Amino acid sequence: MIEQRSVINTPRAIGNYLLEAELGRGATSLVWRGRHRFLREREVAVKILLSQDEESTMRFGREAELTAQLRHPHIVAVYDHGQAGNFLYTIMELVSGGSLRQYMAKHQRLSLKEAFSIFRQIGTALDFAHSQGIVHRDVAPGNVLLESAGGRALLTDFGIARQPQQSHTTTHIIMGTPGFFSPEHAQSATAVTAVSDLYGLGVIFYFMLTGELPWQQQPSHPDYVFGNILPLGARGVDLPPEIDKIFQTLLAIDPKKRYPTAAAATEAIDRALQRAGVLLDRSTPLPEVTAFRAINTASTYQSAGVLESEVEAVLGPDLVREPVERAHARAERLRDPLALAKLLDQWSMQGKFWEFRRQHLGRIINLRSVSSRNVYFYQMHVLLETRTPPNTIEEPDTEETHFKVQREQDRWTMKLPKPHDWSDDPGKTEIIPGSERVLKCERCNGEGQAVCNECKGTRRVLRTVAVNPGQPADMGVHEQTTVSRRKDEAAAADGHQVEMKQTLVPCPTCGGAGALRCELCQGVGRLVQRKVFQWHRTAVEHAAHDDLPNLDEDALRHEVALTQVYNERSKGLKREWSEVQALQPLLAQVNAKTGVDTRVVLAEITVQMIPYTEVEFDHGHHDVVLEENEPAPPSDDRIHRLQLAGFEDKVLIPAGTDVYDNARRLQLFGLIFLAVIVVLYTAYIFIAR
């Protein structure tokens, strides 16, 4: 029976489809279940635009156009688009089961198996859309539909999606579902990228497992502060701790630190669950890797993808994910003997003629093992700051400065000038706020002047002067002394003796005042006492790298380009750095220089990477062409190694590895030797004539 029309006067039929029941409605549209007039088993979803404004009309048409381009099993298909009377409509695939939002309202939480299945399926849909240059921009539970039979999850509602070349997106407007959009959404609609969609998918995954959003407090208008991600255990979900680290990467604030694709995140979750012994029965499996075809491999041939390293395990949430995931993809490609043989064949054909590379190397060697890992190079910059123990100084209170009453600060809580670069700074002397005291000058007892040390306050001192006949009695002391000295000199020259006597004279030091201005307080009678310390900064730089057997890392870094995957700056040494074994000696050197008076005030670790693959092989006798009935020579089963380094897969040949055609090399040397003999003989004959 056809349901009664809603208050909105929608048509009873659109095209060949009768509208049977309303399935849902939004702010600008509603969705009906439609049935074909003649093909009665054909059911569809008919989305009808209610709004007539230009913006809504444009978005409705673009949604149909973009979705029609995306033919994928986990994206709702679009069959038709047009206009019936005043209404624009889109005819789409009918998914009978409702949205994930409705499903979560009923079940509160989903099992790991169920949540991971939905995550994988929607992830494949997003990766496909992104490969077509389309960003969804509203990945939320309301836009994920669940099929009631078969367990299929589908992505829908590309109403605010955009393509990179699109230029009419409104700027400075936040689009998306609150609670599920990324930090870029909060900046502007134009800042949203493919990894912003993956952020929303990560929030959905957390929401499915816990029934709640990942933060203690949901980011909200106008600040949109994205706080720390709460561990699953805080929400009562018991999963391996590594899953929490994966969520740190999925929901990283910096887009560069997120997984570049949903497939990369899915693979990381798979690996974490396998290591923890958690096995899931996939109801909707992803395509498996194509099986290797046979090619000169030993019966014990072994291959592995990128071996896990401490860098990925410890620093994973803060790594730039794109190169790391690209290294994983490279390692998987090189596991295939066919791909490896092709690469080695190309190398053997590209050499200079005098190198004598063994032709068709990839086909004639016998592969034994292939293993890949990322080689990491570390650089650490540290700024050490020394603050000497406080000293007390006293200065005259001549300025009568007003000092703010405050608690005396600790020297290490005081803010000093921020460092500008990684260089030494001689620093200066700093006064500790709150340490000021105004004291009475003890030297002058607050009087501002001190008793003259020479006259002891009597204002007079005894002086010995010469007395000569005829010297006026009222002559001043200074004049007397001067006259006496002259007469003494004259008398001494004539051999006469001079009469000497002592007399009181005004103290020449204090001028007869009996006191002097106190030098300590400069006459004010008060001192200001302060505590001060001196500081300086020392820049320290250290470098290290992984130490792998059979590999010269120092030579490697000059052969192949390094790719930066980590750069973190901190006000101190971060705890997780000590969990990376290669960094431990560097940190120990820094810690040896720290103590009560010296601390790390700024530290930065940069990690660069080179993807590296080691291939072990033997020659067997694949490169020997035998005549009929000729017995095969002994197999050369000595193990050789060659190395493939960098994303460009540069082939490195360690010493002792036999990949050159020595027979051709001997032939050439023989020909050169013969030519030299001929030339010398010809020259000898010519000279002899």
Number of domains in the chain: 3
Helix axes 194-210, 262-275, angle to 10 degrees: 40
In a domain, 416, yes or no: no
Of the three residues 288, 305, 330, the one that is the final residue of a domain is 288
Q: Are 427 and 536 in contact (CB under 8 A)?
A: yes
The mean pLDDT value of the chain amounts to: 82
Does residue 511 lie in a domain region? yes
Q: Which of 470-484, 530-544, 585-599, 656-670 has the lowest mean pLDDT?
A: 470-484
Measured between alpha carbons, how far is 14 from 589 in angstroms, rounded to an integer?
Answer: 76
Task: Retrieve residue 10's tokens.
Answer: 């929608």
172: pLDDT strictly greater than 80: no
Residue 546 lies in a domain: no
Q: Residue 40 to residues 4, 63, 81: CA-CA distances in angstroms?
A: 20, 28, 21
The DSSP result for 241-259, as a single string, is HHHHHHHHHHT-SSGGGS-
Q: Are residues 124 and 272 in the same domain?
A: yes
Structural domain boundaries, residue 35: 13-93
Residue 112, pLDDT > 90, answer: yes
| DSSP string for 601-627 | EEEEEEEEEEEEEEEEEE-BTTTPPPP
The two beta strands, 429-431 and 526-545, are antiparallel
8 A C-beta contact, residue 134 and residue 70: yes
If asked whether residues 266 and 123 sit together in one domain, one would say: yes
User: Would the pLDDT of 485 be above 60?
Assistant: no
- Percent of the chain at pLDDT above 70? 81
CATH number at residue 263: 1.10.510.10
Q: How confident is the model at residue 155 (pLDDT cuts 50, 70, 90)?
A: very high
87 and 104 both lie in a single domain: no
Considering the domain boundaries, does residue 257 fall inside one? yes
Residues 188, 183: Cα–Cα separation, whole Å: 9
Residue tagged 């039929």 (tokens): 13
| Single residue among 266, 288, 310 that ends a domain in this structure | 288
pLDDT tens digit sequence for 250-287? 999 889 989 999 999 998 899 889 888 887 765 444 33
pTM value surpassing 0.75: no
Residue 288 is encoded by which pair of tokens? 């498996």
Same domain? For 128 and 256 the reply is yes
526-545/563-570 β-pairing: unpaired
Do 216 and 274 share a domain, yes or no?
yes
DSSP reduced 3-state for 472: coil
For residue 74, the domain's CATH number is: 3.30.200.20
Give the pLDDT of residue 528: 95
Q: Is residue 300 part of a domain?
A: no
Q: Do residues 114 and 262 both lie within one domain?
A: yes
pLDDT band for position 5 (cuts 50, 70, 90): very low
Q: What is the pLDDT of residue 350?
A: 72
**87/134 same-domain check:** no
Question: Greater confidence, 620 or 431?
Answer: 431
274 with 225, same domain? yes
Whether residues 87 and 203 fall in one domain = no
User: Is residue 410 among the annotated active site residues?
Assistant: no
- DSSP H helical segments within 336-430, as ranges? 337-350, 361-364
> What does DSSP say about strands 460-467 and 499-506: parallel, antiparallel, or unpaired?
antiparallel
Per-residue CA distances from 24 to 28, 65, 74, 98 (Å): 11, 22, 20, 9
Fill in the amino acid letter for 533.
F
H or E element in which residue 449 lies: strand 449-451
Alpha-carbon distances of 209 from 110, 205, 480, rounded to whole Å:
6, 6, 111
Does some domain include residue 336? no
Distance CA 361, CA 640 (A): 13
Where does the pLDDT of residue 660 fall: very low under 50, low under 70, confident under 90, or very high at 90 and above? low
Residue 203 has pLDDT above 70, yes or no: yes
- Contact between residue 484 and residue 466 where contact means Cβ atoms under 8 Å apart: yes
Summarize the confidence of residues 459-481 as an average pLDDT: 64
Decide which of 244, 265, 288 is a domain's last residue.
Answer: 288
Please tell me the distance from the alpha carbon of residue 435 to that of residue 285, in angstroms, as a whole number.
71
Contact present, 467 and 499 (Cβ < 8 Å) = yes
More confident residue, 643 or 231: 231
Give one DSSP letter per residue of 193-232, joined into a string.
-HHHHHHHHHHHHHHHHHSS-SSSS---TTT----PPPPG
DSSP-derived secondary structure letter, 97? T
Higher pLDDT, 307 or 223: 307
> Once rounded to an integer, what is the mean pLDDT over residues 11-38?
85
Residues in a beta bridge with 528: 395, 438
Model pLDDT, residue 494: 58
Note whether 68 and 122 are same-domain residues: no
Range from 159-173, 228-242, 304-318 that averages highest in pLDDT: 228-242
Q: Mind listing the pLDDT tens digit for each residue in 29-40?
A: 888 889 998 888
Among residues 53, 127, 138, 421, the one annotated as catalytic is 138
Q: Are residues 274 and 162 in the same domain?
A: yes
Would you place residue 237 in the very low, low, confident or very high pLDDT band (cuts 50, 70, 90)?
very high
By three-state DSSP, how is residue 138 classified? coil
The residue that leads in pLDDT, 398 or 348, is: 398
By three-state DSSP, how is residue 505 classified?
strand
Sign of CA dihedral 440, 446, 448, 450: negative
Residue 208, in any domain of the structure: yes
- pLDDT of 543 reads 94
DSSP 187: H
Residue 645 lies in a domain: no
Q: Are residues 64 and 116 in the same domain?
A: no
Cβ-contact 551, 375 below 8 angstroms: yes
When pLDDT is cut at 50, 70 and 90, the band that residue 578 belongs to is: very high
pLDDT digits (tens, 9 = 90+) for 335-363: 888 888 888 877 777 765 555 566 667 66
